[in-house]
Structure 1
């Protein structure tokens, strides 16, 4: 039986508020899914090739069209352009060496991005996305994050707050752990205080909220690690606000930068405009957010730091604009990660 539009509208009017809300959410999801994928792919193609086509392997600009391939867009099979490099003879597409490369379910990525913003577990995300396992979504997650962590921010301006925080070294997911017994539910360090069992994460943030958060190494921060991580984003015109750790003071002296330091006892929290409250609040939000994962393998920690940084920049908003922008930005960056490289990666500094 075919219903007329007027019959459907009358049926909607009879729904209670809760049913109307569920219907509204369903229609939003359905309409978003049916319109976003094609737009996203077109945007990725245009922005990647704004200066002309080039080979992702040898960088040659001598490119010709080389047939088409089939993919699913908006629930339908469509033909997309394939290219061939005249120099190295290799073929490629607009998605070669991106997070979406060789993904067979492009139309499901938008829903998965929504799940990432909401912070759902992989198993719940698999239920919501449909027809995909939580294992596959784990690799989707890290393929995208491997791109997002490469996004460069502008150089710092003015006052820059810096402070380090620490996470217990974790080999979560490793079947055979050497040198120690496996922990249960995260566990705790054997040594008191900060030791080589702890992973140092530096967070630097200026007053425009330009933020760098990065794993530096095991144990205490050194000035060499600091310079390697963010030295290229600082200048002598910056004013540093840090805790009282001596590496910050030594680094500032060598670079000719002004520095204000604050002890952790909390007796003096501010000196006029100078304080580290913004970066300390960032630490608090980061650690509260990361607890939902019940431990993160240290080899993936930089990926999660990049994820949280992106969420902070979009203020954890879930809408079509932010979801599309997230997937577009994540696929404009060279990314050759595969399931095997993600699975076999090792923690290294």
Structure 2
């Protein structure tokens, strides 16, 4: 660590700012921003060890300070197994050399502005785009569990749909290399579609991935990918989170009627032939609004690969509920 700057020396340092030219002021601003960024990351890392006193190696809570790491993080020595550790040990960020830039990526993902693309972030932070992509996958894992698992009162439920994407898949490569063990993929290769693109019929098809969305009037939200829209699947997903005294508001999909009847819920069906019209208290406008915001959010990524869709859904919910970058950094 550098020496502690005395108050008098610091005041003299500030007084010299009046003599700086515009280029020097910009350099000083950049330096102060970098120092502040590293300080914020250091604070979040050390807050983890202040909350959790147990050794990540053996679980013993006896410890003593044992110097600092290369990134100036407080290191401890376990009184039980005698191993050293810090706030990053046994975490997903343990081998990241620039935790300050990692925290900047989280802030970009959860900030009020539209999230930047991987290439934009790489250019802004001076990193490789593969590094930013790898960090995003770590951050998405830290956002897992953002959706609520308990609801109460008037609960709205509906499904959204996402076009299936096999972006980055090597299924055709594997099939051509070993057709006996890898069957022919159900989709054509991208250059075989021609200028008109993928031939899709109107409405839903087996290429659309269903996403179950649930919300109540207290602000709880759940967005989760489901394998299909059958009665068994939707009943299984809703059974654990919808209490027996709730009021369920949905559209006329048969699965919700089947679930409400089986659980004895008061069920308010909005829309459909011969069904009730929405009222001031019983409607599905919150879910419709959630679907609209999801469409705007997912449009930025031009159809993410379906194998990563669960992470993007957690990211979307984290932005909706106002999850803080500090909480995600500590969880990662």
TM range (shorter): 0.7 to 0.9
Per-residue Cα deviation, 1:103-147 (whole angstroms, up to 9, x for no partner): 0111212332343233111111101111x1111101101111111
Counterpart of 1:106 in structure 2 is: 99
Contact 1:71/1:80 (<8 A) preserved:
no
Counterpart of 2:315 in structure 1 is: 307
Q: TM-score if structure 2 supplies the norm length? A: 0.76
Aligned in 2, Cα 1:97/1:275: closer, same or farther, shift over 3 Å? farther
Give the CA deviation at 1:289.
1.6
Question: Within 5 A, what are the aligned runs for 1:117-156?
Answer: 117=111, 118-130=114-126, 132-151=127-146, 153=148, 155-156=150-151
Aligned in 2, Cα 1:269/1:30: closer, same or farther, shift over 3 Å? farther
Of residues 222, 242, 267, the one that matches 1:212 is 222
Contact 1:48/1:332 (<8 A) preserved:
no
Question: Within 5 A, what are the aligned runs for 1:167-186?
Answer: 167-177=162-172, 178-183=185-190
What SS does structure 2 have at the residue aligned with 1:304? Answer: helix
Counterpart of 1:53 in structure 2 is: 54
Q: Matched residue pairs, number? A: 300
Higher strand share: 1
Contact 1:242/1:248 (<8 A) preserved:
yes
- Does residue 283 of structure 2 align to residue 275 of structure 1? yes
Cα distance in 2 for partners of 1:79, 1:45 equals: 7
Cα distance in 2 for partners of 1:159, 1:205 equals: 9
Q: TM-score if structure 1 supplies the norm length? A: 0.73
Contact 2:155/2:216 (<8 A) preserved:
yes
What SS does structure 1 have at the residue aligned with 2:240? Answer: helix
Contact 2:63/2:79 (<8 A) preserved:
yes
Question: Within 5 A, what are the aligned runs for 1:221-300?
Answer: 221-263=229-271, 269-300=277-308
What SS does structure 2 have at the residue aligned with 1:293? Answer: coil
Contact 1:64/1:85 (<8 A) preserved:
yes
Counterpart of 1:162 in structure 2 is: 157
Please provide the CA RMSD for this pair: 3.6
What SS does structure 2 have at the residue aligned with 1:271? Answer: coil
Cα distance in 1 for partners of 2:196, 2:319 equals: 24
Aligned in 2, Cα 1:7/1:33: closer, same or farther, shift over 3 Å? closer
Aligned in 2, Cα 1:110/1:278: closer, same or farther, shift over 3 Å? same
Aligned in 2, Cα 1:106/1:161: closer, same or farther, shift over 3 Å? same
Per-residue Cα deviation, 1:205-260 (whole angstroms, up to 9, x for no partner): 1112211101011x4x2344334434333211211111111111111122221111
Cα distance in 2 for partners of 1:266, 1:54 equals: 63
